[in-house]
Structure 1
């Protein structure tokens, strides 16, 4: 079979692609403690972003630039006004582990389709059933594989054409609602650190029904608002689920058996590229090397939008959290007692701040730093944190899911926020009700 004509490679893009690949390899090396330079990953990724800066779409470039400028300014102010000790060599490290995971996930494109462009098989599942399939597929698989599932499902849907607003909303809400209960989400890892005495069984008893309600709300609302007769959904057939389920099983095998000390994000970062390489090796080492080379020169530089947004958002988060920590370093607590009223107020504050552009992790971390919770109150705090994360990431224009959708599929973060305001309002009412019921049961 003759080789497909290769696109012209710009040397600057080739160098940036090599740096991005180096960042991934260095991140994987850090999992084994074989690489001593702590900041090498971030330096590779930021240098690649600088090389690709002029190629980033103007809207994305402007947003990323503002995020970076604010984050850097807050670090300077924290140092000057509050004498905060800043680890200046490490200020670029924020979100690099997420970016490394995204780069690793991109190698999914090398799995299958070894001889040509794949085509969607058969007639697509559409309408309410299709939307339910999309939400359920992203939710169930995303509860284990996190953000990588959005790309698995989204790229499969995109084979039939550019993603529509209902499809993007299904991806957004399917993943974000898993934060309500999944023990493998980054949100749960953060909350377990901040509230180590929480009762997970209680969280599951309230979070899982809320997540199912979010799914029914999504299907009902989008079916009412949009004409979905021609909108393809994700089919939960064995064929379509084979790769995601296989990946999920491998992740669980490594998490519980082979590498129990590594987080899910870390396992995904090295496992998916490894599986991609192994799937190509039967075609021969030269074939495999050629595909990796082409992926590095073309696909990795094309990720410049999402990489720049995540890196600059990480710098903003680091600057803001450092400034707040320096400004609020005192012995007072926000609430003398953390009851339902205080929990509802905290939930609303975090969701509103997320809609204004702050990642929920900032609000959750700041709230935890201003509370002194005994064991009995930690479960309520944990639920507030997880619920605000789930609702806040769906509506927040700078959340991980919306940054990914913006960088990968070109949708505006403000557009996603506008379409999710009604959803967030209804979910807020449900969460408030759950807080009241939980308080009565604790």
Structure 2
């Protein structure tokens, strides 16, 4: 099944925009670029700009591009923002919560900045500005699916969400992405949350459970990730005809740019800028490499390509930008309301063992299915538990597993929002096709919890 392209490909009405429309979109592109630049300046620790300006810039660009967003995405984004604002008002006037109103637009701006930075990858490689179609015969069938899952999984452990775009865009050069290709991208990335030390999930867990044992998590999480890949390779060929479905070729040529980028990220993370997060490094590194690559043709050439990217490619990201921003507002509203409503000192469980861990895991995954990001469930769970050091590894495994399974099936997870905004597939479609996968993975996680406790 193929899907219409939405945000990163111009809609049909974009073919001949009038002058006013071109100026409005160009202004929006400049505003998005300004948000990226302000975010990058924050990494220096001595930025002259308020960090709130990043959110203001991205939200302003969304307002300028609102009429151009596909109606389905626009309705969903509008509801997310409205519900998030309503929850904030309920927390403020119903529970007396203190709210920093200047910061309510900050949600998910660091992710949006990373997405904008990653978009500059399009300037790398062919300096004529045209994407070269992949040559030769495509790798198809189960082998192609294995290459897609493995490529996204291995590179995604370091480059996170940007790997989905790098591989997904390469696959889309041949034809619009099909359901099995999208599922391979989804599961390859989400399953890396089981063990990757560079995922946002691990950063959250390290903060909530500082006494956890990472070696134990790795020993139990990595086999689960491999089970995810095996399940995908067994299940999808039975449900879909993959004869003509192209996959990612794990050849040296295909991996050259992703591996080079991954190597640079590792260099900055461990040597040059260890104080920055992986997301922060990706945000500034991708545009920097793109500019350096183009500077070989001279500053005038480089400036022209950046200008073209700003006025065409950045406004075309309106779908994914709006969804992430509005989902961030919803997350802020819900977490604020939950914190205000559960601000007492009671503890959910007197003892956090395998039965309690299993129940917590299933509850977080269930909440993801109905549209809540796993970070909400993980944060709420941590706020109502009193975890001694001995229980923190078990809690950390629950959180990582819920994140890995929940983001694969949740319609409002980061990966599914990205696939929706960039490739036109709905979150409910991804959820429906991942329900069986999520059920099997949930059973494996619960079984692993008993092994972990033993």
3-state SS in 1 of match to 2:232: helix
Q: Does 1:103 align with 2:112?
A: no
Distance 1:223 1:120 in 2: 24
1:28 to 40, 43, 50: 40
**What TM-score, normalized to structure 1?**
0.97
For 1:332 and 1:117, locate their aligned partners in 2 and report how far apart those are by CA, in whole Å.
Answer: 57
Offset of residue 395 of structure 1: 0.2
Query: CA–CA distance in 1 between the matches of 2:247 and 2:133?
Result: 15
The Cα shift of 1:212 comes to 0.3
Give the drift of 1:38: 2.3
Distance 1:435 1:411 in 2: 33
Deviation at 1:35, TM superposition (A): 2.6
Deviation of residue 7 (structure 1)? 7.3
- More displaced stretch, 109-118 vs 41-50: 109-118
**Alignment-derived partner of residue 336 in structure 2:** 322
Aligned to 2:102: 89
Q: Is the 8 A contact 2:114 2:282 kept in 1?
A: yes
In structure 1, what is the Cα distance between the partners aligned to 2:16 and 2:303?
17
Structure 2 counterparts to residues 156-195 of structure 1, below 5 A: 156-195=170-209
How far apart, in 2, do the equivalents of 1:21 and 1:258 lie?
A: 25
2:73 aligned residue (54, 60, 66): 60
Query: Is residue 69 from structure 1 mapped to residue 88 from structure 2 by the alignment?
Result: no
Equivalent positions of 1:24-423 (< 5 A) are 24-33=36-45, 34-115=47-128, 116-423=130-437
TM-aligned CA deviation for residue 37 of structure 1:
1.1
Moved more, 29-38 or 13-22: 29-38
Is 1:429 matched with 2:440? no
Partner Cα separation in structure 2 for residue 381 and residue 366 of structure 1: 12
Contact 2:139–2:247, Cα closer than 8 Å, also in 1: yes
Counterpart among 28, 47, 59 of residue 16 in structure 1: 28
| Runs of 4 or more above 6 Å deviation | none
SS of alignment partner, residue 333 of structure 2 = helix
Instruction: Determine the C-alpha separation between the residues in 2 that align with 1:228 and 1:303.
Output: 30
TM-score by length of 2: 0.95
SS in 2 for 1:377: helix
Counterpart Cα distance in 1 of 2:284 and 2:83: 32
Offset of residue 185 of structure 1 = 0.2
Task: Tell me the secondary structure at the aligned position of residue 312 of structure 1.
Answer: helix
Q: Distance in 2 between matches of 1:49 and 1:36?
A: 21
Tell me the number of residue pairs that the alignment of Structure 1 and Structure 2 aligns: 435
CA distance in 2, matches of 1:12, 1:381: 48
Q: Secondary structure at the match of 1:236?
A: coil
By how many angstroms is 1:36 displaced? 3.7
Once residues 36 and 138 of structure 2 are traced to their aligned partners in structure 1, the CA distance between those partners, rounded to angstroms, is 35
Gaps of 5+ in 1: 1-5
Indicate conservation of the 8 Å contact 2:39/2:51, yes or no: no
SS at match of 2:75: helix
3-state DSSP class of the match of 2:317? helix
Asked if 1 retains the 8 angstrom alpha-carbon contact of 2:164 and 2:189, the reply is yes
Partners in 1 of 2:95 and 2:177 — Cα distance?
Answer: 47
Shift of 1:282: 0.8
In structure 1, what is the Cα distance between the partners aligned to 2:232 and 2:155?
17
CA deviation map 1:69-118 (0-9, x unaligned): 01100100111011100000100000000000000000000001112441
Q: Hey, what does 2:12 align to over in structure 1?
A: none
Distance in 1 between residues matched to 2:66 and 2:126, nearest whole Å: 31
Secondary structure (helix, strand or coil) at the match of 1:315 reads helix
Segments of 5+ residues of structure 2 without an aligned counterpart are: 1-14
Whole-angstrom CA distance in 1 between matches of 2:227 and 2:260? 28
Give the Cα separation in 2 of the matches to 1:225 and 1:169. 12
Q: Aligned-pair RMSD on alpha carbons? A: 0.9
Counterpart contact for 2:40–2:284, Cα < 8 Å: yes
Residues 352-400 of structure 1: per-residue CA shift (max 9 Å, x gap): 0000000000000000000000011000000000000000000000000
